[in-house]
């Protein structure tokens, strides 16, 4: 290959990778040996000899010693801004409390370490892994920390438990009605508040991106947020992630991301999904569709339609298998309200990103998209259904016809698969995280972790999509298995498509961004059950080595 010439001068690569086994994941399935980067972009792909001419005295050359190189992983549904805040709070998932008493002991010791009146923010509490067989209550928290306001958020982020002091700080007393799209838990005997706060009732206790009302628990300071974001992003770099779609970005994190992007301080690229409640602000500013740059970009507008799979709040047409009367939670009781938001998003040129787990919620989301598209037809709006967990043939057909993209949980079966059949029954479980059905049905689909609710490592996601194995080794939905190649595309090319960036991301091709990952084993040449064990040797974003840190 002859060097490209720009303005009469020969271009000298900033970075040249050689002796690699580069799986480009392009349309032709090209495998190459060498890659050259200049100014963040790929300027050459080929053999060592082909690209030798691109090296100059200032070129950094990395000999990959036959290691496997892939396009950098893009997680199409990650909660980086939430992840950043985990170390700033009391993480109740590690070490894992086995009983309510153990959990309360940790709250108590936290209370002893901080001044009375200061918030204790517990996160990632998982009632299903605690032996007592009952959820935490307001009274429990009152005993552990009577003088501190306490909020404990469930691992699903869809509900939490607060103590009496927290209720007092929020001006909440027994007379409070349930808010729209949420609920204050009450003791069935006495009818008194038991501290459980579900969905929208939880927002003001720490989920800043989901409410325009004043927060009861204040947001973290801007410098604290900036440092925390970089640390969290670096953890993802170590897993080979070069880009995330942050699925709920609150206004303060829009500021943090754009600030970090402008300082060139981010080790990965961020696509922001901004909650729909802030659409009026974007309208006022005249910010329409996909604004930003390849580092920080607004991809879509997020609407949460129903609850969670693990939290058993997903809206199901036929109810939960072990509790048929329970159909989960719909956050929009009025269908027309959802439709009018989707139309507004659609007409502003944004992708509507509708969180819908259960079949009932997915159908409702599709109804809204269908109306928006009928009233204002656009050639390729690429609206998304986030998670899109429980599907059926009719949902698949409608998604195909509307060009709607799904971002299902990639590693859910590997992480929680064993409890699925109890909650959802065999047949429905086989049609969950239906990567295989989406591909066969001609529906756009991308890999997402839902981290921190799910595990962040894309290699685990690949293993789970390829094997469909639960922790106990059972296979659920063998027909949903996909090939190793397709599984990696979920985290590369297809994720890029989900944000209209397939021309610049997702495959290692000349003219695209030089975002790549180096693995210590070739996933194509091993037992798929071990793909999650592969080590990430190096992560490169825009030609810069971001992992290991230099
Ligand atoms: Zn999510």
The tens digit of pLDDT for each residue in 391-443 reads 999 999 999 999 999 999 999 999 989 888 888 999 999 999 999 999 999 99
pLDDT value at residue 156? 79
- SS3 sequence, 182-218? EEEEECCCCCCEEEEEEEHHHHCCCCHHHCCCCCCCC
How confident is the model at residue 475, as a pLDDT?
96
Task: Tokens for 76, please give them.
Answer: 């199409």
Contact 42, 509 (CB under 8 A): yes
Q: Separation of 450 CA from ligand 1 center, angstroms?
A: 5
Q: What is the pLDDT of residue 70?
A: 98
pTM, two decimals, is 0.90
Residue 31 has a CB neighbour count (10 Å cut-off) of 14
Mean pLDDT, residues 513-517 taken together = 98
Instruction: Give pLDDT tens digits for 342-384.
Output: 999 999 999 999 999 999 999 999 999 999 999 999 999 999 9
Q: Mind listing the pLDDT tens digit for each residue in 487-502?
A: 999 999 999 999 999 9
The Å distance, Cα 6 to ligand 1 centre, comes to 44
205: Cα separation from own chain's centroid: 21
Measure 79 CA to ligand 1 centroid, in angstroms.
6
Burial (0-12, 13-18, 19+ Cβ within 10 Å), 361:
buried
- In angstroms, what is the span from residue 229 Cα to ligand 1's centroid? 17
Residue 513, SS3 per DSSP: strand
Write down the pLDDT at residue 9: 66
- Positive or negative, the CA dihedral 434, 438, 443, 447 is positive
Task: Provide the pLDDT confidence category of residue 176 given band limits of 50, 70 and 90.
Answer: very high
How remote is the CA of residue 168 from the centroid of ligand 1, in Å? 30
Going from the Cα of 22 to the center of ligand 1, the distance in angstroms, rounded, reads: 32
**Centre of ligand 1 from the C-alpha of residue 161, in Å:** 20
* Cα three-residue angle 307-356-240, rounded to 5 degrees: 100
Peptide bond into 191 cis (omega under 30): no
Residue 157's pLDDT is what?
81
238 vs 532: CA distance, rounded Å: 14
Rounded to an integer, the average pLDDT of 462-467 is 98
Residues 6+ apart with CB under 8 A from 332: 181, 305, 338, 364
Structure-token match 């927290």, residue found: 166
Give distance in angstroms: CA of 248 to centre of ligand 1. 7
DSSP helix/strand/coil, 360: helix
Find the length of the chain: 550
- pLDDT of 510 reads 97
Whether the per-residue pLDDT at 3 is higher than 60: the answer is: no
The residue-averaged pLDDT of 72-76 equals: 98
Percent helix, strand and coil across the chain, each to the nearest 5: 35, 25, 40
Cα of 50 to ligand 1 centre, how many Å? 44
473-509 exposure pattern, b = at least 16 Cβ within 10 A, e = fewer = eeebbeebbbebebbbbbbbbbbbbbbbbeebbbbbb
- Residue 34 contacts by C-beta under 8 Å, 6 or more apart in sequence? 16, 17, 18, 19, 20, 22, 44, 45, 46, 47, 48, 50, 51
Q: What token pair was written down for 389?
A: 């967990």
Measured in Å, residue 410 CA sits from the centre of ligand 1 at 12
Question: Ligand 1: distance of its center to the CA of 265 in Å?
Answer: 25
Residue 367 DSSP symbol = H
Tokens 């659409």, residue located: 279
pLDDT tier at 6, thresholds 50, 70, 90: low
Question: What is d(CA 449, CA 427) in angstroms, rounded to the nearest whole number?
Answer: 23
CA of 70 to the centre of ligand 1 (A): 26
- Phi (first) and psi of residue 210, to 5 degrees: -110, 0
Separation of CA 90 and ligand 1 centre (Å)? 21
58 sits in which H/E element: none
- Give me the pLDDT at residue 93, please: 87
DSSP conformation letters of 263-321? TT--SSEEEEEEEGGGHHHHHHHT--SS-B-SSEEEEEEEEE-B--TTTT-S--SS-BT
Distance 356 CA to ligand 1 centre (A): 10
Q: Residue written as tokens 């999650």?
A: 532
Q: How far is the CA of 440 from the centre of ligand 1 (A)?
A: 25
pLDDT score for 333: 78
Q: What is the pLDDT of residue 5?
A: 58
Does residue 538 sit in helix, strand or coil? strand
User: Is 70 exceeded by the pLDDT of residue 8?
Assistant: no
Residue 336's SS3 state is: helix
Are the C-beta atoms of residues 76 and 407 closer than 8 Å to each other? yes
Give the residue from 408, 422, 402 showing the smallest Cα distance to 357.
Answer: 408
Q: Does 259 score more than 70 pLDDT?
A: yes
Express each pLDDT in 88-117 by its tens digit: 999 998 788 999 999 999 999 999 999 999
Rg for the chain, CA atoms, rounded: 24
> How high is the pLDDT of residue 7?
56
pLDDT confidence bin for 39, thresholds 50/70/90: very high
Q: What is the CA(95)–ligand 1 centre distance, in A?
A: 24
CA of 247 to the centre of ligand 1 (A): 6
Spacing, Cα 44 to ligand 1 middle (Å):
37
* pLDDT > 70? residue 58: yes
Determine the distance separating the centroid of ligand 1 and the alpha carbon of 30, expressed in angstroms: 34
Q: How far is the CA of 407 from the centre of ligand 1 (A)?
A: 10
- pLDDT for 288-308, tens place per residue? 998 999 999 999 999 999 988
Segment 450-456 shows an average pLDDT of 92
CA of 206 to the centre of ligand 1 (A): 16
Instruction: Write down the pLDDT at residue 161.
Output: 98
Task: Give the mean model confidence (pLDDT) for residues 137-143.
Answer: 97
Distance 452 CA to ligand 1 centre (A): 9
Residue 162's pLDDT band (boundaries 50, 70, 90)? very high
Tell me the backbone φ, ψ of residue 296, rounded to 5 degrees. Answer: -135, 120
Say if residue 2's pLDDT is above 80.
Answer: no
Q: Looking at the predicted structure, is the pLDDT value of residue 309 above 90?
A: no
Rounded average pLDDT over 266-270: 97
Q: How far is the CA of 78 from the centre of ligand 1 (A)?
A: 7
Taking the C-alpha atoms of residue 526 and residue 66, their distance in angstroms, rounded to an integer, is 16
User: Could you report the per-residue pLDDT of 318-350, keeping only the tens digit for each?
Assistant: 999 888 999 998 988 799 999 999 999 999 999
334 CA distance to ligand 1 centroid (A)?
22
């Amino acid at each position: 290959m002859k060097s490209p010439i720009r303005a009469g001068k020969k271009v000298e690569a900033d970075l040249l990778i050689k002796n690699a086994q580069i799986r480009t994941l392009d349309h032709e399935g090209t495998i190459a040996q060498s890659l050259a980067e200049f100014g963040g972009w790929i300027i050459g792909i080929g053999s060592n000899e082909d690209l030798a001419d691109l090296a100059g005295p200032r070129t950094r050359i990395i000999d990959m010693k036959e290691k496997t190189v892939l396009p950098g992983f893009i997680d199409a549904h990650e909660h980086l801004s939430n992840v950043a805040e985990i170390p700033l709070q009391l993480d109740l998932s590690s070490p894992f409390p086995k009983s309510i008493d153990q959990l309360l002991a940790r709250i108590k010791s936290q209370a002893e370490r901080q001044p009375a009146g200061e918030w204790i923010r517990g996160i990632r509490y998982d009632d299903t892994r605690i032996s007592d067989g009952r959820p935490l209550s307001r009274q429990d928290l009152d005993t552990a920390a009577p003088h501190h306001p306490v909020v404990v958020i469930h691992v699903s982020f869809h509900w939490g438990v607060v103590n009496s002091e927290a209720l007092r700080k929020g001006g909440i007393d027994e007379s409070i009605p349930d808010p729209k799209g949420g609920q204050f838990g009450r003791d069935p005997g006495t009818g008194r508040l038991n501290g459980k706060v579900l969905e929208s009732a939880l927002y003001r206790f720490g989920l800043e991106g989901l409410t325009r009302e004043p927060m009861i628990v204040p947001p973290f300071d801007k410098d604290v947020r900036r440092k925390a974001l970089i640390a969290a992003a670096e953890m993802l770099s170590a897993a080979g992630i070069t880009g995330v779609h942050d699925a709920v970005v609150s206004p303060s994190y829009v500021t943090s991301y754009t600030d970090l992007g402008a300082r060139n301080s981010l080790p990965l690229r961020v696509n922001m999904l901004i909650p729909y409640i802030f659409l009026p602000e974007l309208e006022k500013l005249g910010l329409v569709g996909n604004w930003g740059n390849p580092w920080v970009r607004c991809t879509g507008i997020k609407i949460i339609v129903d609850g969670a799979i693990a939290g058993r709040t997903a809206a199901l047409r036929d109810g939960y298998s072990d509790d048929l009367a329970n159909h989960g939670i719909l956050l929009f009781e009025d269908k027309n309200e959802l439709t009018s938001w989707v139309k507004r998003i659609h007409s502003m040129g944004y992708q509507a990103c509708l969180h819908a787990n259960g079949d009932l919620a997915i159908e409702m989301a599709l109804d809204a998209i269908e109306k928006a598209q009928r009233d204002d037809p656009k050639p390729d709006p690429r609206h998304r259904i986030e998670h899109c967990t429980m599907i059926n043939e009719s949902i698949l057909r409608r998604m195909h016809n509307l060009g709607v993209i799904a971002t299902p949980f990639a590693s859910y079966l590997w992480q929680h698969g064993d409890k699925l059949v109890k909650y959802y029954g065999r047949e429905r479980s086989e049609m969950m995280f239906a990567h295989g059905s989406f591909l066969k049905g001609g529906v756009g689909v991308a890999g997402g972790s839902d981290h921190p609710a799910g595990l962040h490592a894309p290699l685990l996601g690949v293993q789970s999509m390829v094997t469909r194995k639960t922790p106990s080794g059972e296979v659920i939905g063998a027909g949903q298995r996909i090939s190793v190649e397709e599984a990696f595309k979920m985290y590369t090319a297809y994720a890029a498509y989900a944000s209209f960036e397939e021309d610049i991301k997702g495959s290692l091709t000349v003219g695209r961004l030089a975002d790549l990952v180096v693995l210590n084993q070739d996933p194509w040449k091993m037992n798929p059950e071990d793909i999650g064990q592969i080590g990430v040797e190096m992560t490169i974003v825009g030609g810069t080595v971001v992992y290991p840190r230099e």
